[in-house]
Amino acid sequence: MTSDSERGKRLLSTTIDSLALTEPDRPWISVPRNDDDLSKGFTDISFKQFSNAINHAAHWLDSSLGKVASKFKAFAYEGPADARLAIITVAAAKVGRKILLPFPLAPAQIKGYLLDKTECTAFIYAETSRHSIQSILDEQPHLRAIVAPPLLEWMTEAQAEPYGFDKSWDEAADDPWIIFHTSGTTGLPKPIIYTNRMMTISDTAEFLPGSNQESQASHFANRRVYSTIPMNHLVGMVVALQGTVWLGTTVVLGPTKSTTPPLAAQVIQHGRVEGLIAPPILIKALSLQPASLHHLRALQFIDFAGAPLDHVTGDLLKGHTKLSPAFGTTEGGPYLTLPCADPNDWAYLRFRPSQGITFQQRSEQFYELVFKKEKDAHWQQIFLLYPELDEYPTKDLFQKHPSKEGLWLYSGRADDMVVLANGNGLHASSMEDIIERHSSVKAALVGGDGRDRPFLLLQASDEVLEVAKERDDVLEVVWSAVEDANSVSSEMVRIDREHVVLSEPARPFLRSGKDTLLRRETVALYKDEIEAIYERSE
C-alpha cells in the first residue's frame, strides 16, 4: 500500500522493479498473438517480464555504448511501435543516459537537427528502420549507428542479472531522462528534456484537491486501454509507463504496422479493450462504419488527443460512452482535468485546481490559457522547464461555455489568427472546425495572411471523390459546409468559391506525429495553386 507521503516521489524504474517482486503477474501490456490474425487473441506481458526485459536492455546498452563516463550522455532510438520503445527508455534511466525519441515520420533534416541540438553520440535503431535513417547516418558520420536486438532478445524467459540502481528520489528526481520534441507546427521542433519528476504527474495527481472524485485519469485505472498514439510521443509514453505503473492500466498494443481504421476496429474487438485514446481522425473514421461504431459505443471511455473531435462524430458517441478531450502540451505535460457531468458537454474541458491555470481575454470570444506560478500549486510542470518565469502564455485559445461556469472549449492557437490586408482578422481553427463537421469533408485549412480575401484548402472525403470528379461537382457537394462557416463570420472574411483549392489524393494534408495539421508545410505543398487563385481574382 502506497502512503500519501510517497505519492509523486517514486521513481518509475525502481517502482517497476518493486512491482516485479510484489505483483509479478500483474499485466503491463497486452500484445497480439498473431499480427496477421487478431482473432487469435492477445497475450498479456507481466511486470516481472517487463522488469527482466529492462535489465537485459540496460546491460546491452552498457555493452554497446560503454558505461557512462560523463553524466547523462544522449542517444537516439527509432523503431516500430512495439514494447522496445518503453523497455529501452526505462533502461536508459537505469544506465544514466538521456534518450531522444524522434517521430519516425519526421523528415531527415528535422531528425538531424534534433540529434545536433541534443548532442546525441549514438543512434540506436531497429533493423526495420534502417531505410528511414540511412541518410541521417550518411550526413553525420560521427554518430555511432547501432542496430537494436529483436524484441524477443530482451523479452526472453532467461533471467537477466538485476541492474543495480540505488538512487533515492531526492538524488534522482531532477535527473534528465527522456527527450521528447514538439511537433514543429509553428517552427522548428523544440527538444524538451523530461526528468524523473516530470514523469510522475499521474502519481502526483492522487493528492491534488478533489482527488477523491472521478477524474479523467481515473478512467484509466485498472482497465485495458488501447492507445493508438505511439510511445515516441509524450501521450503514448505517459500511458505506457505512468498509466500502467501508477494507475493499474493494461495497455493494449496493436500490430506494429500502420494503424488503419479496419485494423484498429479489430484490436478493439479482439483485445478485450475497455478504453481508447486516439487521434480524432481515427475515431471519426471508425464511427463511419456501423460495426466499428458499435464497438466504440461499447467502450467505457474514449479520449481524443492531438486535435478537436468533429461534432458529428462526438454526437454519435456521447450518449453511449464517456467521451472527453485529453489535453496537454509537450512542454506543459498532460493537463489534469475532470469529466463534465452532462454528456452534451463532451467537447469541453474542466480543469482541476492547483495547477495555476488562468484565462486571459484576447478578444470578444477567445481567452488564452496562461499558467501563473503559484506557491501552493501542486503541479506546474512548465515552471520546472522555465523556473525563471512567473507566468507562461501557452498561445492556446479557449471559449467559455455559454451557460456553465468553469467549462472551456479548446478553439485553436493564437498562431491560427489570419489577418487580411484590410486589417480584418479571422480565427482559422474555428472556421475549419465548422467545415470539418460535415461528413463530406475530410480536412480543411483556412489561410490568407496579408491577402484581400481568405482562401480555403479543402480535402473532400473519399466518398465524395468517388462520385464527383470535376471541381464544380465537388464544390456542389461540400459547399453547405463552407456556408455554415460563413454564416458565423463577418462579410469581409467570408470564403467564396473562387478562393477554394481542392487537395489532390496524391498530396494529402501533412500532419505531425500526433496528427496535428502542419499548416506551413501543407500551404507550401499547394503554394502554386494558392497563388493561381489570387492571380485569377486580380
C-beta atoms surrounding 61 within 10 Å: 26
3-state DSSP assignment of residue 405: coil
Residues 8 and 106: their CA atoms lie apart, in Å, by 33
Q: Is residue 366 part of a domain?
A: no
- Nearest CA-CA partner of 178 in 136, 232, 229, 112: 232
pTM for the model stands at: 0.84
pLDDT of residue 436: 92
Would you say residue 425 lies in a domain?
Answer: yes
Q: How far is CA 272 from CA 30, 276, 288, 322, in A?
A: 10, 11, 21, 17
Do residues 407 and 348 make contact, with C-beta atoms less than 8 angstroms apart? Answer: yes
Helix axes 12-22, 47-65, angle to 10 degrees: 130
Assess contact for 320 and 343: CB atoms under 8 A. Answer: no
Look at residue 479 and tell me if it is in a domain: yes
> Which residue stretches of 175-289 are H helix?
201-204, 234-237, 244-247, 261-270, 280-287
Q: Give the per-residue pLDDT at 414.
A: 81
pLDDT interval class at 52 (50, 70, 90): very high
Does residue 415 have a pLDDT over 80? no
Give the integer Cα–Cα distance in Å for 90 and 16: 9
Q: Please determine, for residue 51, whether its predicted confidence score (pLDDT) is greater than 80.
A: yes
494 is a domain residue = yes
Q: Is residue 293 assigned to a domain?
A: no
pLDDT of residue 6: 77
Residue 526 belongs to a domain: yes
429 found inside a domain: yes
How many structural domains compose the chain?
Answer: 1
Q: What DSSP string runs through 150-193?
A: PHHHHS-SSPPPPPP----HHHHTT-EEEEEE---TTSS--EEE
Cα–Cα distance for residue pair 128/102, rounded to 1 Å? 15
Which strand (E) or helix (H) includes residue 530? helix 527-537
Q: Which amino acid is at 97?
A: R
- Tell whether 177 is covered by a domain: no
Output the pLDDT for position 211: 59
Q: Is the pLDDT of residue 2 over 60?
A: no
The whole-number pLDDT of residue 34 equals 97
Instruction: Return mean pLDDT, the chain.
Output: 92
pLDDT at 452: 86
Q: For 60-69, 152-161, 208-217, which range has the lowest pLDDT when averaged over its residues? A: 208-217
Give me the domain span that covers residue 447: 420-537
Q: What angle do CA 294, 296, 302 make, to 5 degrees?
A: 160
DSSP conformation letters of 48-95: HHHHHHHHHHHHHHHHHH-S-SSTT-EEEEE--SSTHHHHHHHHHHHH
What percent of the chain has pLDDT above 90? 73
Mean pLDDT of 397-405: 95
**Buried b / exposed e along 7-26 (16+ C-beta atoms within 10 A):** bbebbbbbbbbebbeeeeeb
Q: What percent of the chain has pLDDT above 70?
A: 96
The residues pairing with 151 across neighbouring beta strands, listed in sequence order, are: none
d(CA 219, CA 230): 20
Q: Do the beta carbons of residue 232 and residue 85 sit within 8 Å?
A: yes
Q: Which residue has the higher pLDDT, 538 or 371?
A: 371
49, burial (CB in 10 Å: exposed 0-12, middle 13-18, buried 19+):
buried
Buried/exposed 458-483: b ≥16 CB within 10 Å, e otherwise? bbbbeebbeebeeeeebbebbeebbe
Predicted local distance difference test score (pLDDT) of residue 215: 82
Residue in this structure with the C-alpha cell 505483483, named with its chain if needed: 23
pLDDT in tens, 223-257: 999 999 999 999 999 999 999 999 999 999 999 98
pLDDT band with cut points at 50, 70 and 90 for residue 306: confident
DSSP 381: T
Q: Provide the CA 102 distance to its chain's centre, in angstroms.
A: 13
Cβ proximity of 257 and 82 under 8 Å: no
Helix axis angle, 84-95 relative to 12-22, nearest 10°?
110
454: pLDDT strictly greater than 70: yes
What is the C-alpha separation between 155 and 328, in angstroms, rounded?
32
Identify the CATH number of the domain in which residue 438 sits: 3.30.300.30
The tens digit of pLDDT for each residue in 356-370 reads 999 999 877 889 999
Q: How confident is the model at residue 217 (pLDDT cuts 50, 70, 90)?
A: confident
At residue 208, the pLDDT reads 65
Total residues found in the chain within this entry: 538
